[in-house]
């Protein structure tokens, strides 16, 4: 397996697509329940993202709907492991082999998750990971790709020679961001910290996760950047604690499953066959509520870290989905889920006291079903 490191995980996806010779007018299949930076990478190659609906039991792409979307122009399938839950890789790989397609695992949420005893990110032709600040292995921003295909690996090796390194200013900005997050961001001041982060990003003091160009589906002029020396050193240093952090996230997730009634999880986790042979490292725990808007509004008032993933099939875009090549109505299950889903944090700063606060808060609101 070959590994390459990038300033952001999405840049690694772009490098993979270029190495797979994804060309203008080619098509790449992906779930209609994703972050806009994923279809962006496809569109930056001149190709077309083809959205396939999700299976609500897992929030992952529905393998039964993939084949209907394959055309002569299809070149690859992106299998996202949403919230850390592994996609149905056996079925997806079987389809890909039938049509001679590449399989790319979107493992940004799923470091530490296993599928049939095998770590995700090692099952397809390649995978991309994120080390953005919310992830178990973090460098503030950043990411890497795992490649299981020698030909793709050699091509990526050539492609990255044309990429640039972040500036010293960007390295200093990331270092400051990491210091602030590691030492001062706690559940009690989370929302205040988000406002400060937003101000410092707009002021150019900190480097944001997604630029305004990316949010409007335009390719930034400095998009193709490699991981900085500071990021790489921090990644190596933090690696030794990753297993401990993953174990803790699993414990936090189990507390939510223990104390919240099953109705909040809808059909999620309800079908045993969907979760057999899975070892799940939850990045965040998704639940379905009847009134998402009120839950998020009240959470802000109480200073609780309740997430809004995903607000749309191409998060965080609330409107103009067409900019990301998505047509309303393409993925009705995903669109319905977006209207009702919120998510609960699992990171290492969430202690038992905070878990009880979050559970008590959620119990005030009606589940979707």
Tell me the per-residue pLDDT of 153-178, one tens digit each, with 9 for 90 and over. Answer: 999 999 999 999 999 888 888 888 78
Is the pLDDT score of 27 beyond 90? yes
Cβ(259)–Cβ(251) under 8 Å?
Answer: no
Q: Is residue 312 part of a domain?
A: yes
Q: What pLDDT was estimated at residue 369? A: 82
Q: What pLDDT was estimated at residue 188? A: 62
Q: In terms of C-beta density within 10 A (0-12 exposed, 13-18 middle, 19 or more buried), how is residue 301 classed?
A: exposed
Is the pLDDT score of 305 beyond 90? yes
Please, how many CA atoms are within 13 Å of residue 325, restricted to the half-sphere of its CB? 27
pLDDT top residue among 324 and 1 = 324
Is the pLDDT score of 275 beyond 70? no
Name which of 126-135, 277-286, 289-298, 329-338 the model is least confident about. 277-286
Could you say which DSSP state residue 261 is in? -
Residues β-bridged to residue 342 = 287
Is the pLDDT score of 294 beyond 60? yes
Is the pLDDT score of 273 beyond 80? no
Q: Is residue 167 part of a domain?
A: no
Range of the domain at 100: 2-162
Q: What is the CATH number of the domain that holds 358?
A: 3.90.1150.10
Instruction: Give the alpha-carbon dihedral of 131, 134, 140, 142, to 10 degrees.
Output: 20
Is the pLDDT score of 181 beyond 80? no
Could you say which DSSP state residue 43 is in? H
- Both 132 and 262 in one domain: the answer is no
pLDDT top residue among 181 and 277 = 181
Q: How confident is the model at residue 204 (pLDDT cuts 50, 70, 90)?
A: low
- Both 120 and 260 in one domain: the answer is no
Cβ(251)–Cβ(350) under 8 Å?
Answer: no
Backbone angles phi, psi at 62, to 5 degrees: -85, 110
Taking only the tens place, the pLDDT of each residue in 4-25 is: 999 999 999 999 999 999 999 9
Q: What pLDDT was estimated at residue 93? A: 98
Cite the beta strand spans of 197-283 per DSSP E.
278-279
Q: What pLDDT was estimated at residue 154? A: 98
Taking only the tens place, the pLDDT of each residue in 51-95 is: 999 998 899 999 999 999 999 999 999 999 999 999 999 999 999
The secondary structure of 107-176 as a DSSP string is: -TT-TT-EETTEETTSSSSEEEEE--TTSSS--SS-EEEEE--HHHHHHHHHHGGG-BPPPHHHHHHHHH
Is the pLDDT score of 314 beyond 90? yes
Q: What value does the mean pLDDT of the chain take?
A: 91
Q: Is residue 106 part of a domain?
A: yes
Cβ(157)–Cβ(164) under 8 Å?
Answer: no
Q: How many of the other CB atoms lie within 10 Å of CB of 1?
A: 11
- Both 12 and 158 in one domain: the answer is yes
Q: What pLDDT was estimated at residue 310? A: 95
Backbone angles phi, psi at 285, to 5 degrees: -105, 115
Backbone angles phi, psi at 368, to 5 degrees: -65, -40
Q: Is residue 182 part of a domain?
A: no
Q: Is residue 197 part of a domain?
A: no
- Both 157 and 281 in one domain: the answer is no
Q: How confident is the model at residue 206 (pLDDT cuts 50, 70, 90)?
A: low
pTM over 0.85: yes
- Both 143 and 279 in one domain: the answer is no
- Both 154 and 250 in one domain: the answer is no
Q: Is residue 26 part of a domain?
A: yes
**Given 141, 162, 183, which residue is the final one in a domain?**
162
Q: Say how far apart CA 157 and CA 89 lie, in whole Å.
A: 26
Q: What pLDDT was estimated at residue 185? A: 64
- Both 158 and 256 in one domain: the answer is no
Q: What pLDDT was estimated at residue 193? A: 63
- Both 136 and 248 in one domain: the answer is no
Q: Is residue 214 part of a domain?
A: no
**Given 116, 138, 162, which residue is the final one in a domain?**
162
Contacts (Cβ under 8 Å, ≥6 apart) of 168: none
Its sign, for the CA torsion 134, 315, 4, 213, is negative
Q: What is the CATH number of the domain that holds 101?
A: 3.40.640.10
Q: What pLDDT was estimated at residue 191? A: 60
Task: State the total domains in the chain.
Answer: 2
Q: How confident is the model at residue 318 (pLDDT cuts 50, 70, 90)?
A: confident
- Both 155 and 283 in one domain: the answer is no
Q: Is residue 99 part of a domain?
A: yes
Q: How confident is the model at residue 242 (pLDDT cuts 50, 70, 90)?
A: very high
């Amino acid at each position: 397996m070959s590994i390459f490191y990038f300033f952001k995980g999405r840049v690694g996806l772009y490098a993979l697509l270029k190495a797979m010779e994804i060309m203008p007018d080619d098509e790449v299949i992906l779930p209609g329940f994703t972050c806009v930076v994923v279809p962006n990478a496809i569109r930056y190659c001149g190709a077309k993202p083809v959205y396939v609906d999700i299976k609500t039991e897992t929030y992952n792409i529905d393998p039964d709907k993939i084949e209907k979307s394959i055309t002569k122009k299809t070149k690859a399938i992106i299998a996202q492991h949403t919230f850390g839950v592994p996609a149905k890789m056996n079925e997806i790989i079987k389809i890909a082999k039938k049509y001679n397609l590449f399989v790319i695992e979107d493992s940004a949420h799923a470091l530490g998750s296993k599928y049939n005893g095998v770590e995700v990110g090692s099952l397809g032709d390649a995978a991309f990971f994120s080390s953005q600040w919310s992830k178990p292995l973090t460098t503030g921003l950043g990411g890497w790709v795992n490649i299981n295909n020698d030909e793709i690996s050699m091509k990526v090796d050539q492609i990255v020679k044309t990429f640039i390194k972040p500036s010293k200013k960007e390295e200093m900005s990331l270092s400051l961001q990491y210091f602030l997050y590691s030492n001062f961001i706690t559940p009690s001041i989370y929302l205040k910290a988000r406002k400060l982060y937003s101000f410092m990003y707009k002021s150019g003091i900190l480097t944001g996760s997604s630029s305004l160009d990316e949010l409007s589906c335009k390719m930034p002029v400095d998009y193709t950047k490699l991981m900085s020396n500071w990021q790489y050193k921090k990644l190596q240093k933090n690696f030794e604690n990753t297993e401990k952090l993953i174990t803790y996230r699993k414990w936090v997730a189990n507390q939510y499953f223990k104390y919240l009634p099953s109705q909040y999880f809808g059909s999620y986790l309800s079908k045993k066959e969907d979760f057999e042979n899975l070892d799940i490292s939850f990045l965040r725990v998704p639940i379905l509520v009847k009134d998402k808007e009120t839950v998020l509004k009240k959470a802000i008032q109480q200073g609780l870290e309740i997430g809004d993933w995903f607000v749309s099939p191409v998060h965080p875009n609330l409107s103009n989905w067409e900019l990301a090549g998505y047509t309303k109505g393409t993925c009705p299950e995903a669109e319905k889920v977006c209207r009702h889903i919120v998510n609960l944090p699992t990171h290492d700063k969430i202690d038992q006291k905070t878990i009880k606060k979050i559970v008590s808060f959620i119990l005030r609101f009606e589940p979707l079903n």
